[in-house]
Amino acid sequence: MAEHRPIGLRAGLQRLSTGLIVYGLIGVFVAIVGFGALVWANNRIATLSDRVGTSVEQMATTLDNTAKALQDASSTADGFTQTLDRTSEGVSSAAQTIVGVRTNLQSLESALQAVSILGVNPLNVAANAVGGIATALQGLDTRLTAIADSLEGNRSRLSANATSLAALGESTAALAARLRSGAVEDSLADVQALLIVTLLLFVLWSAVPAFGALALGIWLRRETDRATPAPPGPFVGV
């Protein structure tokens, strides 16, 4: 019984060393795979970061061009607003002038019709012509006033559009500046650092116990092999 116990203990230690070696090899393999995943993920994120940086720069350039176009459109709309102001004033003034001209023509018509020589009105023809002109001008002032009012309304809407375009241009320019500030690239760099740290911790978490178990298993195997007695020779007991 005393001899069987050391033999059983050595067999158990050998099995334990075998298990530790197998566990260590599996752990080392997992650590190698994890390290390969770490290198692959780092390269992929670096490539993605370069692509995103190029795309962000192109987008910022596009936004800059858009902001400039919006600001130019706002300036054009604002300038056209001033043109509409002057046009509206001119049309309103023309309407008032037509009212005055029509009134004067009607007065002239009455004066020409009042001219009588020996009971004959020699200026009736001229009076009728002047009256026809006055009649033709009738209502024109109203139409010009309506046009002036319409121009004034369009001027108000165009002024509002100019303000909106200017605000949109400023917002677009601010977005382009934000893209160029490197916020997107910094965020990707943070994600890359977090992923690398996480995978590195996984690799270390797998590698340290694996190498420890592998070293302990090899040491136990050597110790048990060293403690195993040599088989008896052919001349022992002769």
- Summarised one tens digit per residue, pLDDT across range 200-231 is 887 888 778 878 877 887 887 777 766 655 45
pLDDT digits (tens, 9 = 90+) for 104-122: 777 777 776 776 676 666 6
pLDDT digits (tens, 9 = 90+) for 46-82: 787 777 777 778 888 888 888 888 888 888 877 777 7
| pLDDT (0 to 100) of residue 6 | 56
Q: What is the mean pLDDT of residues 4-24?
A: 70
CB atoms within 10 A of CB 70: 20
Closest CA to 185 of 44, 38, 40, 51: 51
Encode 134-162: b = buried (16+ Cβ within 10 Å), e = exposed: beebeeebeebbebbeebbeebeebbebb
Structure tokens belonging to residue 107 = 């007065």
Reply yes or no on whether the pLDDT at 97 is more than 50.
Answer: yes
